[in-house]
Structure 1
Amino acid sequence: MRLWKHELGRLLLLAGLGLAVGWPLGEQWAGLALGLALSLVYHLYQLRRLHHWLTHDSQAEPPSAAGLWGDLMDRLYRYQKVQRIAQERLRSTLGRIQESSEAMRDSVVMLDRHGDMEWWNSAASRLLGLQASHDRGHHITNLLRDPRFVEYFHARDYRDPLTLPSPIDERTVLEFQITLYGDGERLLMARDITRLHRLEEMRRDFVANVSHELRTPLTVLAGYLETYASFADQLPPRFARGLGQMQEQTTRMQNLVQDLLLLSRLEIDRSGSDHAPLDMVRLLESVKRDAEALSGGRHTIRVELKEPRALVGSEQEIRSALSNLAFNAVRYTPEGSHITLSWRPGPDHGAYLEVVDDGEGIDPVHVPRLTERFYRVDKGRSTATGGTGLGLAIVKHVLLRHDARLEIDSRPRQGTTFHCCFPATRLEGETSAT
């Protein structure tokens, strides 16, 4: 306020001087105009000095001036100094980020909101073949043209990573992960998992080969045990009891080998050549009959069909997944429980294939690990019921082959619901029954 009063006083002083000069000559208004013109010239002069300082030598001290102009220049100088310090800190931080990114073995690519490449580290140049002189500013899908990556990029669902071969060397396997940040910008990271991928292939091959080799001796053993069992009445009681136990364990081993072979086939075979629209009424009724046979009348099992569209997939695989869920419900729910097999509409025009029971339920701490191989909530109970510990792993792989996912809702003493969530792209037409 003091500075404004000072400038107002200067203006009044010049106007008064103009009037004083013009009064004796009878030109009061001309004198007043002269005084105001002098004030305008003064302000234009200070404005020119300010402009020259800002455009030619803003790093130096500001021009000296009195009053409001001096205060304005001092404030601008202090503001510029603060901004320079902030910019230096920001450049230093960016420099450290780039240095740390350069030290990473994983590829890091920064994309703008349109998907154009802004910056990347040297690992991205090595693994993805990016060249600063050609690729900067280009869209990421111009470089990574694999249809699976293009679909992954545009889907904007980056919860799970995507595994693809490197665009410059098919022998190198990369895992891509995209993260959204800021105003729609993306951070693309790709890491080399070739060694891990090869170890996983070796594991699958080993399991498949061992399971295949075990199948023949187990078949021979089961055959001989069945033959001996026909003469069980001629054997001493303790031998007969041991023969029955050997048959039970042989059958259990055969089921385990069969499940391991099925898992290996699901992991290796990705052709999908047998996919076709399925008759969901017939499929659910068939699984219901099998579950009732396993239950022996101890459970109430029913079917609900609320979705008219057919599921497109492999009947053998979908039947295997649904049977595993239904048989688990029979094995792990107490007598008198109710089990429902349903096919109903889901969100986003998709559909749910569900198995619902009102049994004991599962502690939420176990739910994230249920689809792991051989994971058991209660090892003693699972062994007693004849389970192999591979059923839900099979379900998970079947659903992955059908672009679906498994969701599990369960609470102790509140029952369990297994949702097989299929997208709209896996549905076709209407079933024969409604």
Structure 2
Amino acid sequence: MRRPWSRELWRLTWLGGVGALLGWPLSSPALGLAIGLAVCLAYHLRQLRALHRWLTRNPQAEPPAANGLWGELFDRLYRYQKGQRHTQQRLRTTLRRIQESSEAMRDSVVMLDSHGDLEWWNSAAERMLGLQPAHDRGQHITNLIRDPRFVAYFNARDYREPLTLPSPIDERQVLQFQLTLYGDDERLLMARDITRLHRLEEMRRDFVANVSHELRTPLTVLAGYLETFGDLADTLPARLAKGVSQMQSQTTRMQNLVDDLLLLSRLEIDRGGHDHGPLDVAAVLESVRRDVQALAGERQTVEVVIDESRRLIGSESEVRSAISNLAFNAVRYAGDGCHIVLRWMPCGDGACVAVEDDGEGIDPVHIPRLTERFYRVDKGRSTATGGTGLGLAIVKHVLLRHDAHLEIDSHPGQGARFRCHFPSSRLRDEAAKAKPPATSVSAAAGRREDS
């Protein structure tokens, strides 16, 4: 570009010099210079007019013929426009393919702007959500999906977990909504039809609840007869007496398993909340400590530590069940000579119930799966301790019903810490009862139930 520009400067200088020389004989070199500059200005205005007409009338046509600086400028503009047209065509093709692929999806795809207004959606969204292109474009998404749970989910801006709701146009259809932030605070809403999975899950829960309920009666009858035979063990042959004792042990284990399955089914089906009220967590922990003492022997110590005065809003029976499961797991699996601490303490702006021990610990590879039903770190050892494999699954569901979550921190040989995090919305600044003294209690064998 420097060379045409240099030539243009030389042309301007030459026109000015020629004009001045022509005006010299007439004793008006300035007039000659002005005429030369005027000629140069007229040339540039003519080229500028050609540029304007080209850009406004037909920019895709060949550029006007010109030389020098203007010719270079026309060529560069033409090449730039041609590149832009290719880029736009490529983007249009890509966008069309994205739209075609979105149209082929069975899941709903809805694009929202930074205000939450609808910009574009595929045909699946029209079927699942009832969106109409003629009326709904530009509407706010919460004007069309008015369920309070979706409104709260949209405004919370925490989209790590999906939301399951009935379809706004058919309550028999169950949808899973997932929002994703992208671009300049824009959102992508995806909705999946999980009606079949939801029904299968309901069938599974009903099956487990019904089977567990039906097992109760025969197990109760069997346990009653075995208890009668156990009372007559002295009159039975030694081999038969041993068999009766083993049957009693396995029947008790089956009864515990049925009870846990029924409790887990109730936690999954019943939303709860009817029995929630202010709880004195210190009193609950002291009660759990006494239960642990009743289970324990002389090989462990248990301590209650209270560092938080606020009360917890929740169900006393459910919270007690969750803490008991964690504490009994620690008693069963922590190992001989370990120290167990039941702690109520502040955690950020909320509070935690922690069950800690200095026992054998857990390999971190197992931690993500500990709350799964029947998952065990050591299957043989866990069965020998009498655990059902449902303890931590029950803890997980109790915490979900209390807007809380479970954190597990453990390493082999370094003990384990199970923390139940409750948000500040679940706490009340009421005068707590007098703290029970930190007490050490003898406790029985074992380590933590793994699920």
Q: Same fold, TM exceeding 0.5?
A: yes
Q: Which residue of 2 aligns with 1:384?
A: 384
Deviations 1:302-358 (A, max 9, x none): 1222222211110000100110011111111111111111122223x1222211112
Distance 2:351 2:138 in 1: 41
Q: Which amino acid aligns with 1:111?
A: L
Structure 1 residue 193, shift from structure 2 partner? 0.5
User: 2:37 & 2:310 partners in 1: Cα distance?
Assistant: 86
**CA apart distance, 1:293:** 2.1
Q: In the alignment, what sits opposite 1:426?
A: 426
Q: Which runs of 5+ in 1 are unaligned?
A: none
Contact 1:292 1:299 in 2 (8 A): no
- Aligned residue number for residue 243 of structure 1: 244
Partners of 2:154 and 2:310 lie apart in 1 by 29
Q: In the TM superposition, what is the alpha-carbon distance from 1:69 to its structure 2 partner?
A: 0.9
CA distance in structure 2 between the partners assigned to 1:58 and 1:217 by the alignment: 89
Deviates further, 48-57 or 248-257: 48-57
- Please state how far the C-alpha of 1:271 moved relative to its aligned partner: 3.4
Contact 2:272 2:401 in 1 (8 A): no
- Name the CA distance, whole Å, in 2 between partners of 1:261 and 1:399: 17
Which region of structure 1 is more displaced relative to structure 2, 315-324 or 424-433? 424-433
The answer to whether the Cα contact below 8 Å between 1:356 and 1:417 also exists between their aligned partners in 2 is yes
Give the direction of change, closer, same or farther, for the CA distance of 1:27–1:372 in structure 2 (3 Å limit). Answer: same
Native 8 Å contact 1:295 1:330 kept in 2: yes
Cα drift, residue 18 of structure 1: 2.3
Q: Is the counterpart of residue 331 in structure 1 residue 332 in structure 2?
A: yes
Amino acid at match of 1:243: V
Q: Tell me what 1:374 maps to.
A: 374
Deviates more, 1:412-421 or 1:249-258: 412-421
Which residue number corresponds to residue 50 of structure 2?
Answer: 49
Residue aligning to 2:225? 224
Aligned equivalents of 1:379, 1:213: Cα separation in 2: 27
Change (3 A) 1:344 1:28: same
What is the CA-CA distance between 1:202 and the residue it aligns to? 0.6
**Which residue pairs with 1:156 in the alignment?**
157
Task: Report the count of equivalent residues.
Answer: 433
Give the match's secondary structure for 2:164.
Answer: strand
User: Structure 2: which 5+ runs fail to align?
Assistant: 436-451
> 1:34 offset after TM fit, Å?
2.5
* CA positional deviation for 1:232: 1.5
| Larger deviation, residues 388-397 vs 417-426 | 417-426
Query: How big is each residue's C-alpha offset from its partner over 1:18-45, in whole Å with a ceiling of 9 and x where there is no partner?
Result: 2123323333223322222222222222
Letter in 1 for 2:264: L
Q: Aligned with 2:377: secondary structure?
A: coil
How far is the alpha carbon of 1:297 from its aligned partner? Answer: 2.8
2:59 alignment partner in structure 1: 58
Of residues 326-335 and 223-232 in structure 1, the stretch that sits farther from structure 2 once superposed is 223-232
Q: 1:28-81: per-residue Cα shift (whole Å, max 9, x none)? A: 223322222222222222112112111111111111111111111101111111
Residue by residue over 1:400-425, the C-alpha shift from the partner in whole angstroms, topping out at 9 and shown as x without a partner, is 11111112112222221112121221
Aligned to 2:400: 400
Asked if 2 retains the 8 angstrom alpha-carbon contact of 1:308 and 1:433, the reply is no
Q: Which residue is equivalent to 2:409?
A: 409
Residue 282 (structure 1) aligned with residue 283 (structure 2) = yes
- Aligned partner of 2:14 in structure 1 is 13
User: Per-residue displacement from partner, 1:89-129 (whole Å, max 9, x unpaired)?
Assistant: 11111111111111110001111222222111100110011
Secondary structure, in 3 states, of the residue corresponding to 1:183? coil
**Aligned equivalent of 1:319:** 320
What pairs up with 1:31-46 in 2 under 5 angstroms? 31-46=32-47
Q: For residue 120 of structure 2, give the secondary structure of its aligned residue in structure 1.
A: strand
Mean alpha-carbon deviation: is it higher for 424-433 or for 206-215?
424-433
Amino acid at match of 2:140: H
**Secondary structure of 1:366 counterpart:** helix
Whole-angstrom distance in 2 between the partners of 1:173 and 1:421: 30
Query: Does 1:165 pair with 2:166?
Result: yes
Secondary structure, aligned partner of 2:365: coil
Which whole-Å CA distance do the structure 2 matches of 1:232 and 1:125 have between them?
Answer: 72
Secondary structure at the aligned position of 1:39 is classed as helix
Corresponding residue for 2:130? 129
The 5-angstrom pairing of residues 289-304 of structure 1 reads: 289-304=290-305
Relative CO higher for 1 or 2, CA cutoff 8 Å, sep ≥ 6?
A: 2
Q: Deviations over 1:354-379 (max 9, x none)?
A: 11112222122211111111111111
Inter-partner Cα distance in structure 2 for 1:143 and 1:164: 14
The root-mean-square deviation of aligned C-alpha atoms, in Å, is: 1.3
TM-score, normalization by structure 2:
0.93
Rounded to whole Å, the distance in 2 between the matches of 1:353 and 1:275 is: 17
Aligned 8 A contact 2:226 2:248 in 1: yes
Cα shift readout 1:125-179 (whole Å, capped 9, x = no counterpart): 1001111111112221111111111111122222211100000000000011112
Partner of 2:414: helix, strand, or coil?
coil
Q: 1:36 to 1:433 in 2, by over 3 A?
A: farther
